[in-house]
Amino acid sequence: MGESTARTESDLEMRSVYSAADLQGFDAQARLGEPGSYPYTRGVYPTMYTGRPWTMRQYAGFGTATESNERYKQLVAAGTGGLSVAFDLPTQMGYDSDAPLASGEVGKVGVAIDSVDDMRVLFDGLPLGDISTSMTINAPASTLLLMYQLVAAEQGVDSKQLAGTIQNDVLKEYIARGTYIYPPQESLRLISDIFAYCSKEMPRWNTISISGYHMAEAGATPAQEVAFTLANAKEYVKAAHAAGLDVDTFAPRLSFFFVARTTLLEEVAKFRAARRIWARIMKEEFGAQKPKSQMLRFHTQTAGVQLTAQQPEVNLVRVSLQGLAAVLGGTQSLHTNSFDEAIALPTQKAARLALRTQQVIAYETDVCKTVDPFAGSYVVESLTNDLEDKIMELIQAVDDKGGAAAAIEQGFQKQEIERSAYEQQLKIDSGERIVVGLNKYQIEEDEKYVPLKVDPAIEAEQHERLEKLRSTRDNAKVEQALGEVKRAAEGKDNLLYPMKEALAANATGGEVSNALRDVWGMYTPVDAF
């Protein structure tokens, strides 16, 4: 019988049968190494999950800081190992809740954080010295990080003990998501300042989570997801180097963020290829000497775009497979989506079920009993090699255009992802690609689902909080502090120090962002002309 072939998500050949012949000439020692050793194909730590499982995070945040605080306490009680904060769109765009552009969006897709006072309420009763907090924030990442640091100081926590991550990956916003504020070069300057600030003030903090997740959600293939993410990472390293930072002082705190799809075998291969490529880039292109500078450490979230509003309970199966793919691929932390996220914000029960999914994988299966379970698999090793080649081709294409920032200005990555998204949708529409419950195995919906809804009154509540803040603070002190932020933006001093002083004086996040807008302006994408 002849072999049949199919195509992977990255449009690579996938044969029905693999054998030892597919790995002929493969130098396993050089390209795999041992777990915890260069090039880290088999994992960044020697023992991986045999010592302890990955960090189980649940991404949450909605409405007011008080409501989100209640959800965080519920998640901690349910056994989550780390918090992951979702911010509303005004916060992500650097606007206060009472800004005209914030109307109708306050608290909708995340929590509204306008000031240090809101951050204080968000983490009330949660010991910041003992938990790890991830914040999904990009353009205003420095502002939210400084608010967090100020609240921790009020709790008596030394900044050098704080652990967590800010996403802080603005380049992918220009490519796939859109919550950018400033032009690319100014954004890169701000990110370099964060690297320098945290290396001195918050050495345990992961200063950036370079993200492929959002590109994947926009339609990027697995190969595009990794290639464009690593190309962005190279741009950040080059910007930091140009600012005078030594690679081994900041590279150990770089982290990454990827998606996990239902195509389990390709996803496992993707994660393994990504580790190998990044290790080689850091060692050979940037001369990184420390092993931690060469390690690709990453957080994973299951694929929100693959969830369906039709028969939402089927999403529990999808999320279980996606979570398993992330674990078999060697993730350092994981968020599993709730089954109802295609309909509305997750209910408390759905969020708990999503966390229980991770706990079942960790404690009721045997995947944590051995390191890199798929090592030596004919199919996974072959797919890893094929993906490595495809990813390197795409990285080279970005380099040929002058690097990630220059390619963004030319619209390259965005166009490639949009083309892939269109092709995927055509396959779903034609039935070539089956989505259970959507284009096959449909049923007449007869079950009633009650989604979680955000009270629209919270917008007025945030307005009142801001009005009270502005009427009781020392406004002359705030204006002086914001003037110092502008002077730093016009020059070359590290911006985070004057920004921290402004926030400590009760300047709002929107006011700090506006100070930078006044100096740097706002970015207009190339395809908007």
In contact, 374 and 18? CB cutoff 8 Å: no
Q: What is the pLDDT of residue 303?
A: 97
Q: What is the pLDDT of residues 42-91, one digit of tens each?
A: 999 999 999 999 999 877 777 789 989 998 898 888 887 778 899 999 99
Backbone dihedral angles phi then psi of residue 301, each to the nearest 5 degrees: -125, 140
- Rounded-to-integer distance, Cα 160 and Cα 149, Å: 10
DSSP run (H or E) holding 301:
strand 298-302
Looking up tokens 């965005």 gives 414
Q: Which of 246, 339, 254 is nearest to 289 (CA)?
A: 246
Q: What is the pLDDT of residues 360-379, one digit of tens each?
A: 999 999 999 999 999 999 99
- Rounded-to-integer distance, Cα 522 and Cα 248, Å: 32
Q: What is the pLDDT of residues 191-215, one digit of tens each?
A: 999 999 999 999 999 999 999 999 9
Predicted TM-score (pTM) of the model is 0.90
- Rounded-to-integer distance, Cα 298 and Cα 300, Å: 7
Q: What is the pLDDT of residue 529?
A: 35
- Rounded-to-integer distance, Cα 223 and Cα 212, Å: 10
Whether the pLDDT of residue 527 is over 80: the answer is: no
Q: What is the pLDDT of residue 528?
A: 41
Q: Which residues contact 51 (CB under 8 A, 6 or more apart)?
A: 45
Q: Which of 154, 150, 64, 186 is nearest to 502 (CA)?
A: 150
* Predicted confidence band of residue 526 (pLDDT cuts 50, 70, 90): low
Whether the pLDDT of residue 328 is over 60: the answer is: yes
In contact, 97 and 462? CB cutoff 8 Å: yes
Q: Could you give the C-alpha distances from 281 to 276, 287, 504, in angstroms and in order?
A: 9, 9, 40
> Hey, which residues does 211 pair with through a beta bridge?
257
Per-residue tokens: 31: 């390209």
- In this prediction, residues 437-461 reach a mean pLDDT of 81
Q: Where are the domains of the chain?
A: 52-430, 458-528
Q: What is the pLDDT of residue 446?
A: 59
Q: What is the pLDDT of residues 467-503, one digit of tens each?
A: 999 999 999 999 999 999 999 999 999 999 999 999 9
The alpha carbon dihedral of 114, 118, 123, 129 has a sign of positive
| Alpha carbons within 13 A on the beta-carbon side of 507 | 28
In contact, 418 and 219? CB cutoff 8 Å: yes
- 490-528 burial, b at 16+ Cβ within 10 Å, e below that, comes to eeeebbbebbbbbbbbbbbbbbbbbbbeeebeebeeeee
- In this prediction, residues 329-352 reach a mean pLDDT of 91
Q: Which of 393, 383, 435, 385 is nearest to 266 (CA)?
A: 383
CATH class of 52-430: alpha beta
